[in-house]
Amino acid sequence: DTEVTQTPKHLVMGMTNKKSLKCEQHMGHRAMYWYKQKAKKPPELMFVYSYEKLSINESVPSRFSPECPNSSLLNLHLHALQPEDSALYLCASSHGTSGRETQYFGPGTRLLVL
């Protein structure tokens, strides 16, 4: 099983809403990632979790709050977002973070902030 699942597939939220994106993998991977992808642009790394600990935060605004409750789950909590935060949010996982492990990506959550 090389599948990373993400829910929901689509999300529309207002600037005062609080919502969460969910990501799950059952490949035994110990590294999980959040990426943000704007239209016609490549994915940009937001956060990296390694062994359920946040190891990289790419200067992401605090209105994005990641959480890794266990080795299979990764959440991204959203609060007070701006319209420019509208994007495809991608989750990925890999065995580790040495750079020699393949990252497996989920299908993404397409977020629209009104």
Partner 1 sequence: DAKTTQPPSMDCAEGRAANLPCNHSTISGNEYVYWYRQIHSQGPQYIIHGLKNNETNEMASLIITEDRKSSTLILPHATLRDTAVYYCISLTFQGSARQLTFGSGTQLTVLP
Q: Which stretch binds partner 1 (CB under 8 A): 13-21, 60-68, 75-83, 90-98?
A: 90-98
Listed ranges 13-21, 62-70, 72-80, 106-114: which one lies at the site for partner 1 (CB under 8 A): 106-114
Query: What burial class does residue 71 get, using C-beta atoms within 10 Å of its C-beta: 0-12 exposed, 13-18 middle, 19+ buried?
Result: middle
| Residue placing its CB nearer to partner 1 in the complex, 31 or 78 | 31
Counting residues that bind partner 1 (by CB under 8 A) gives 24
CA distance 36 to 13: 17
Q: Which residue number, 17 or 86, has a Cβ lying nearer to partner 1?
A: 86
> Shortest distance, CB of residue 78 to partner 1, whole angstroms?
19
92 touches 82 (CB < 8 A): no
Which CB atom, from 13 or from 88, has the smaller least distance to partner 1? 88
CB atoms within 10 A of CB 39: 7
Strands 87-94 and 104-105 come out as antiparallel
Residues making up the chain, counted from first to last = 114
Residues binding partner 1 (CB under 8 A): 4, 42-45, 48, 50, 55-56, 88, 90, 92, 97-100, 102-108, 110
